Amino acid sequence: MPIVWRTDPDYEATRRRMVWNERIPNRFPDVIVSVTSDADVVDAVKLARSRGLRIAVRAGGHSWIGTSLRDGGMLIDLSRLNGVTVDVAARTAVAQPAIKNTELVAALAQHELAFPAGHCPTVAIGGYLLAGGQGWNQGGWGIACSNVLAIDLVNADGELITADAQHNSDLLWAARGGGPGFPGVILRYHLRLYPAPKVIMQCLYVYPLELIEGIVPWLAELVPSLPSSVEQLLLLALPPPRVARQLGGRPQRYLTLWPLAYGDSAAETAAALAALDTCPVLDQALVRQVNTPVSFDDLFAIEAAVFPEGHRYDVGIIWSDADPTPVLSGLRDRLAQAPSLKSEILVAVTPPPTIDPSAPEMAYSMAAPLYVGCYSVWDNAAEDEANERWHRETLKSLEPITRGHYMGETDLLASPTRAAESLAPGVWERLQTIRRRYDPQGLFYGHIGQA
Ligand SMILES: Cc1cc2nc3c(=O)[nH]c(=O)nc-3n(C[C@H](O)[C@H](O)[C@H](O)COP(=O)(O)OP(=O)(O)OC[C@H]3O[C@@H](n4cnc5c(N)ncnc54)[C@H](O)[C@@H]3O)c2cc1C
């Protein structure tokens, strides 16, 4: 297995490949080990133990803050572990951690099966499921980690073990949304699958930002009555390139309402989306596209345009109980001062979360009716300071209404209690107890920057 030490000539290129965000942290592992098999992972863990090195893990490298890069220690790069096998009869799959969302969705589609894979084409399931996993058709299929039935992992003793409902069940609980501080290397996720929807239908409405106050109260009132098969997102952002061409003029941000419905027929999905075509200011929509059938490939292409590669990102997502209208009005005003026109806000107005008694036991435990994502996006390192300041101040302006954070897309380095604030009360403490039990020497790095 390739082992790259800090003094090796290809060290810096290898290190930089570990992080998708162009804003690569100045943290330097002693050694980066690229594994291709279970046995490699066992060997790597034993090597780290023998050298007194702590271990960090990387699957798809999409942590916005590059949590896998630590100062010192060993980084185990799993990126070649990206296979999947499907048991069609049992409607389950066994997937390796570095499989990307697009690869997983394509493999399952061959069998007319599906999984709530994440929205971005290139995110890998390794970190996504540990974070919780906000994926496609979440209303129908649940938060992605609730569909993890078991995991196979290498523990701190270098042993290959399984965690399921009967064995090491607290490790399975931790893997379902406990975040990037897991005490082991997960080799395989055993996943529950669903019949693939026969139809995915999309609508797209683009409005001037000035109409926020005319749209958001209507949407907030409508949302509780929408079928759970409907997913909708509000974007305060530059429009996708195809829509931008339609709008012409100089580049500027708009309010885009993007609803989707999953179902068995065009009639069913169109009916599910019908209420979204009743906005009181519909006649002022600059773009109105209703009931367009789309594939997962189409959806991934849209997401790839929303989060372009090769950029510098600062990202924060909060959960809130606040009235969405003043929140969005305030964010519109803040966006007007953003140093980069590429910076954007994504908002999901959802029904109040309910506790599903049939849901599996899981660490994932933070949710509220309003989900606000602030994505600061820019091109050059010379613009870091201005953009980082704007981002920090924007999230600060949201503090009074912040109930909690989303573990998968929050900046854990912003506060030593940020991971705890991304979980329900008591969950962080239980996670730490599990870490101490399975990894008493602290061989595996915990959540970065946490007390
Ligand atoms: C463009 C983009 C779009 C995104 N969209 C979404 C989205 O739609 N929904 C959503 O929920 N999230 C989304 N995210 C966030 C993403 O899910 C998290 O950043 C996630 O951690 C990425 O997983 P990864 O394996 O690619 O990242 P990595 O950086 O490789 O992993 C992150 C951390 O997870 C841990 N880890 C990963 N694999 C393992 C393993 N096998 N064993 C033990 N620990 C492991 C490690 O601590 C690692 O440092 C998005 C991120 C990006 C960059």
Mind listing the pLDDT tens digit for each residue in 7-46?
Answer: 999 999 999 999 999 999 999 999 999 999 999 999 999 9
Per-residue pLDDT tens over the stretch 215-273: 999 999 999 999 999 999 999 999 877 788 888 877 899 999 999 999 999 999 999 99
Last residue of a domain, one of 51, 77, 103: 77
Contact 216, 289 (CB under 8 A): no
Whether residue 173 sits in one domain with residue 188: yes
Domain boundary among 164, 195, 226: 195
In a domain, 159, yes or no: yes
For the cut 90, the answer to whether the pLDDT of residue 393 exceeds it is yes
Ligand 1 atom at minimum distance from 123 CA = 26
Among protein residues, the one whose CA lies closest to atom 8 of ligand 1: 119
Q: Is residue 436 part of a domain?
A: no
Q: Which domain holds residue 154?
A: 84-195
Alpha-helix residue ranges (DSSP H) falling in 283-438: 296-306, 324-335, 384-398, 427-438
Do residues 67 and 137 share a domain? no
Query: Could you identify the residue written with the tokens 């009005």?
Result: 329
Q: How far is the CA of 352 from the centre of ligand 1 (A)?
A: 26
Alpha carbon 65 to its chain's center: 13
Structure tokens at 9: 């000539």
Nearest atom (ligand 1) to Cα of 131: 21
Q: How far is the CA of 173 from the centre of ligand 1 (A)?
A: 18
Distance from the first to the final alpha carbon of the chain: 34
**Percent of the chain's residues with pLDDT above 90:** 94
Residues 181 and 58 in one domain: no
Q: What is the CATH number of the domain that holds 34?
A: 3.30.43.10
61 lines ligand 1 (CB under 6 A): yes
Q: Which residue bears the tokens 């998708």?
A: 20
Ligand 1 mean position to 315 CA, how many Å? 13
Domain assignment present for residue 25? The answer is yes
Neighbour count for residue 102 (Cβ, 10 Å): 18
Q: Is 448 in the pocket of ligand 1 (CB under 6 A)?
A: no
Structure tokens at 149: 């039935």
> In ligand 1, which atom is closest to the CA atom of 60?
26
Whether residue 225 is contained in a domain is answered as yes
Residues 103 and 242 in one domain: no
pLDDT for 249 equals: 72
> Are 105 and 228 in a shared domain?
no
Q: Would the CA dihedral through 23, 418, 430, 357 be positive or negative?
A: negative
Cβ of 133 less than 6 Å from ligand 1 = yes
User: Would the pLDDT of 338 be above 90?
Assistant: yes
- Closest to 62 (Cα-Cα) out of 145, 122, 131: 122
pLDDT surpasses 80 at 405 = yes
Q: How far apart, in whole angstroms, are the C-alpha atoms of residue 55 and residue 102?
A: 28
Between the alpha carbon of residue 356 and those of residues 143, 190, 321, 362, the distances in Å are 11, 21, 19, 12
The whole-chain average pLDDT of the chain stands at: 96
Secondary structure class of 85 (helix, strand, coil): strand
Q: Domain with 326 in it: what CATH number? A: 3.40.462.20
The protein residue with its alpha carbon nearest to ligand 1, atom 41, reads 186
CA of 275 from ligand 1 middle (Å) equals: 34
Q: Within 75-155, where are the H helices?
A: 101-109, 125-131, 138-141
Q: Give yes or no: residues 255 and 350 share one domain.
A: yes
Q: What is the amino acid identity at position 88?
A: V
Residues 52 and 93 in one domain: no
* Domain assignment present for 123: yes
316 bridge partner residues: 374
SS3 state at 319: strand
Evaluate whether residue 294 is within a structural domain. Answer: yes
- Indicate if the pLDDT at residue 331 is higher than 80: yes
Give CA–CA dist 428/179, Å, rounded: 10
Cβ(257)–Cβ(219) below 8 Å: yes
pLDDT in tens, 272-330: 999 999 999 999 999 999 999 999 999 999 999 999 999 999 999 999 999 999 999 99
Domain identity same for 212 and 191: no
Helix count and strand count (H, E) for the chain: 13, 19
**The domain spanning residue 106 has which CATH number?**
3.30.465.10
What is residue 362's DSSP assignment? -
Tell me if 227 sits within 8 A of 255, measured CB to CB: no
Place of tokens 């080990």: 33
393 CA from centroid of ligand 1 (Å) = 25
Distance in angstroms (rounded) separating the CA atoms of residues 311 and 322: 31
* Site of tokens 């290809």: 10
The pLDDT value recorded for residue 93 is 98
In a domain? residue 20: yes
Which residues face 202 on adjacent strands?
260, 292
When pLDDT is cut at 50, 70 and 90, the band that residue 360 belongs to is confident
* Cβ atoms of 223 and 284 closer than 8 Å: no
Which ligand 1 atom sits closest to the C-alpha of 58?
30
How far apart CA 413 and CA 13 sit, in angstroms, is: 24
Do 339 and 221 lie in a common domain? Answer: yes
Q: Which of 17, 119, 409 to mutate to test the pocket of ligand 1 (most atoms within 8 A of CB)?
A: 409
- 157 and 38 in a common domain: no
* DSSP result, 5-67: ETTSTTHHHHHHHT-SSSS--S---SEEEE--SHHHHHHHHHHHHHHT--EEEESS---TT-T
Percent of the chain with pLDDT over 70: 100
- What distance in angstroms lies between residue 191's CA and the mean position of ligand 1's atoms? 17
Determine the Cα–Cα distance for residues 66 and 48; give it in Å rounded to an integer: 21
Shared domain for 203 and 188, answered yes or no, is no
Rounded CA-CA distance 69/74 in Å is 9
Residue type, 103: E
Domain match, 114 and 173 both: yes
Flag whether 441 is in a domain: no
- Overall domain count for the chain: 3
pTM, two decimal places: 0.97
**CA–CA dist 294, 280 (Å, integer):** 26
Cβ atoms of residues 337 and 390 within 8 Å? yes
pLDDT over threshold 80, residue 354: no
